[in-house]
Amino acid sequence: MSLNRRTFLQHTLKTTAFAGLGAAYPLSSLAQNNGVRPAPMMPDPSFVETNGISMAVYEKGSGPAVVFCHGFPELAFSWRGQLDAVAAAGYHAIAPDQRGYGLTGGPEDPMQYDMGIFCDDLIGMLDAKGIDKAVFVGHDWGGALVWAMPRLHPDRCLGIIGLNTTAGRPADLPPVTGSEPSLIVMTPDYYFAKFIPTGQAEPILEADVRKTFDFFLSRGGIWDREAFARLPEDSAERKMDLLTMLQRENPPGEPFMSEEVMSYFTDTFEATGFTGGLNWYRGSARMGAILADTPTRIEVPSLYIGAENDVILPPSSADGMEDFISDLEKHTVMDSGHWTQQEKPEEVNRVIVDWLNRKIG
215: nearest Cα among 162, 276, 175, 262: 262
Say if strands 134-139 and 157-163 run parallel, antiparallel, or are unpaired.
Answer: parallel
- H-helix or E-strand spanning residue 304: strand 302-307
170: nearest Cα among 314, 292, 315, 316: 292
| Alpha carbon distance 102, 38 (integer Å) | 9
DSSP-based three-state secondary structure for 347: helix
| Residues annotated as part of the active site | 140, 338
> Could you give phi then psi for residue 340, rounded to 5 degrees?
-60, -45
Provide the CA 289 distance to its chain's centre, in angstroms: 22
Q: Which residues, including other chains, have CB under 8 Å from residue 8's CB and lie 6 or more apart?
A: none
CA atoms within 13 A on the CB side of 263: 7
Number of H helices, E strands in the chain: 15, 10
Full strand arrangement of the beta sheet holding 53-60: 46-50, 53-60, 92-96, 65-69, 134-139, 157-163, 302-307, 328-333
> Could you give phi then psi for residue 193, rounded to 5 degrees?
-65, -35
What secondary structure letter does DSSP report for 168? P
